[in-house]
A and B are shown apart, each in its own frame.
Chain A
């Protein structure tokens, strides 16, 4: 394991048993997270991004099977450091040692992720009392502190509130407070702003960023919203059909994308300055993973598909030390393809825009 890495997924492969057959949802995913960094996983729904993170937190549904792979986590406990494979830990131990205290999660929909029958204060304090070795008073004090930290005013009074007495944005703040209650090192945010109003979205993102800085957290964002990614991420993993098809730092992905799927995603982002009055969308829909895709899973939707895409799955090609992409277009023998002109024009525009702000 890399020295600075705190979390490392190696060749993770997960499938689900369903009535209709076996769905091969994750097909060999590699991912690193360095301490203090923010990594985003981007993809359409069904690409397997949430499942990957559920595997990390031990929240996979009962019908899931991990076929192979490791999830190494650098566990710092009682002043000692050791590397554990989260997939090998028994569930009980995972809950007791890892969940909450080291890896915490913020869920997509704050309307459903709080227990409706328990006051929020109690929900924040619950794991502190169980594991933190704090007395009730201390836990309460800490909960108040956390509620203030996430921007809930009048915390003393509102601790006794039930979730339904809060608005969506406030609930998401509570969820974040709960996630922080165990002083984790890694915060996994599964589409934390999708269910919220646009005006609240930015505030919540700001909040997470702020907390990350203050507490030295490593953050993983799962999202389909490239706008969010651009705002928060250091590194970006683009996921498609259970695989990571392109990975790079945020500049590489946004200004020098190489995979046609990434091109599609970027082109599909609404843009205020474009002259084009048509909103682009990637044709077709993600493959049904009930049937193992043959060759490159993206080929049927790819305007630049090659004959080889139907025969073999492309390996990850290295572009720079941090930038990799899995497409045969990067093979030395492949025809040289430039990204679509619309996208090129747009990136050019954005680059200028950015330069203007920097100047």
Chain B
């Protein structure tokens, strides 16, 4: 098992390194200058380039960047939040995004599982149909649309919730965005759980369990849920990444100072802020790869087919 984990982690790290390198090169080979240069003379530009280390070969620049990066230094923005270290800005944004995203994951997974299980146990009846319709709507309507409506009715028409995010009233002002964000996860989890359970309930091994006298909650717990829930880990992973990294539009609409909004600011302003794009790109990729890795390992622990194979591997 240890060998399996080491192998997985190693592969993930190599992938991440390649991506960081590619991102870095792309951002550096950009035409033009990564700073507002319209009013600068040629000499000033040249000086600025030397100051930023842009005159060195790309590989050397990459090495320097990596050394700083490993110390947690992302450098400074070129136009956005001029002068503030990216690290400081990023940490606030990450906190906000993660909290709201975490809340959304919690709500979405819990309610989604509940809905999916209820639907599967009532296959073909009203609750099943309700769950299907609910999950279709949840998947088809973007989360920001929900937020727009929630905001319009519960913050504007009936001013109960704050209209914009307020870090001082964190929990209260996270309810609307977290709720709207959770709907997609909820629907996906509900639909997947339902289908997965129905499939398992029709499987030969559940038949065999029934034919030896297992029934009711015991059958569901020991044979159905265990087999149906393992694959759910895989659909959850990309959903978690999406939610943690802040849903751009939701953050924009609700004025949340999160990584999503930061990304939007970095690319949609007048000039694109190269360093922020790079920092956020690395952050996003690292999160994505990290969570996928976690799921991989978790899957290995949960599913004996992989667990035992991995043991044999070692």
Given A118-B222, A164-B308: A100 and B204 interface contact (C-beta under 8 Å): no
Contact: B303 with A104, CB < 8 Å?
no
Contact: A105 with B216, CB < 8 Å?
no
List the 3 closest pairs (A to B, CB-CB), nearest first: A100-B212, A100-B213, A95-B215
A73 interface contact, C-beta 8 A:
no
A144 interface contact, C-beta 8 A:
no
Stretch of A26-34, A173-181, A315-323 contacting B (4+ beta carbons < 8 Å): A173-181
B22 interface contact, C-beta 8 A:
no
Given A112-B203, A117-B227, A126-B214: A162 and B304 interface contact (C-beta under 8 Å): yes
Contact: A117 with B304, CB < 8 Å?
yes
Given A117-B227, A164-B308: A99 and B205 interface contact (C-beta under 8 Å): no
Residue of A98, A101, A112 near B205 (CB, 8 A) is: A112
Chain A residues with CB under 8 A of B207:
59, 105, 107, 113
A276 interface contact, C-beta 8 A:
no
B314 interface contact, C-beta 8 A:
no
A127 to B218, CA, bound (A): 11
Interface residues of B (CB under 8 A from A): 123-124, 202-216, 218, 222-223, 226-227, 230, 303-305, 308
Total chain A interface residues with beta-carbon distance under 8 A: 38
Measured CB to CB, the closest approach of chain A to B149, in angstroms, equals 36
Measured CB to CB, the closest approach of chain B to A180, in angstroms, equals 10
Contact: B212 with A127, CB < 8 Å?
yes
Chain B residues with CB under 8 A of A96:
213, 215
A98 to B215, CA, bound (A): 12
Contact: A116 with B205, CB < 8 Å?
yes
A114 interface contact, C-beta 8 A:
yes
Q: Could you count the A-B residue pairs with CB atoms below 8 Å apart for me: how many are there?
A: 93
Known: A100-B213, A115-B223, A126-B209. 20 other contacts (CB 8 A): A59-B207, A59-B210, A59-B211, A62-B124, A92-B216, A95-B213, A101-B213, A104-B211, A107-B207, A108-B204, A112-B205, A115-B205, A115-B208, A115-B209, A116-B227, A116-B305, A127-B212, A130-B218, A181-B212, A182-B213
Chain A residues with CB under 8 A of B124:
62
A225 interface contact, C-beta 8 A:
no
Contact: B214 with A112, CB < 8 Å?
no
Contact: B208 with A105, CB < 8 Å?
yes
A127 to B202, CA, bound (A): 20
Chain B residues with CB under 8 A of A59:
207, 210-211
A109 interface contact, C-beta 8 A:
yes
Measured CB to CB, the closest approach of chain B to A242, in angstroms, equals 21
Chain A residues with CB under 8 A of B218:
130
Contact with B along A207-228 (1 / 0, CB 8 A): 0000000000000000000000
Chain A residues with CB under 8 A of B304:
116-117, 119, 162, 164
Contact: B208 with A127, CB < 8 Å?
no
- 16 A–B contacts, CB within 8 A, in A order: A95-B214, A95-B215, A95-B216, A99-B213, A107-B204, A108-B204, A112-B203, A114-B205, A114-B208, A115-B209, A116-B304, A117-B226, A130-B218, A131-B213, A164-B304, A179-B211
Measured CB to CB, the closest approach of chain B to A142, in angstroms, equals 14
A91 interface contact, C-beta 8 A:
yes
Residue of A61, A101, A162, A175 near B208 (CB, 8 A) is: A175
A109 to B177, CA, bound (A): 49
Chain B residues with CB under 8 A of A182:
212-213
Chain A residues with CB under 8 A of B212:
99-100, 104, 126-127, 178-179, 181-182
A58 to B216, CA, bound (A): 14
A274 interface contact, C-beta 8 A:
no
A288 interface contact, C-beta 8 A:
no
Chain B: CB-nearest residue to A122: B222
Chain A residues with CB under 8 A of B215:
91-92, 95-96
Chain B residues with CB under 8 A of A67:
none
Measured CB to CB, the closest approach of chain A to B75, in angstroms, equals 48
A70 interface contact, C-beta 8 A:
no
Measured CB to CB, the closest approach of chain A to B274, in angstroms, equals 49
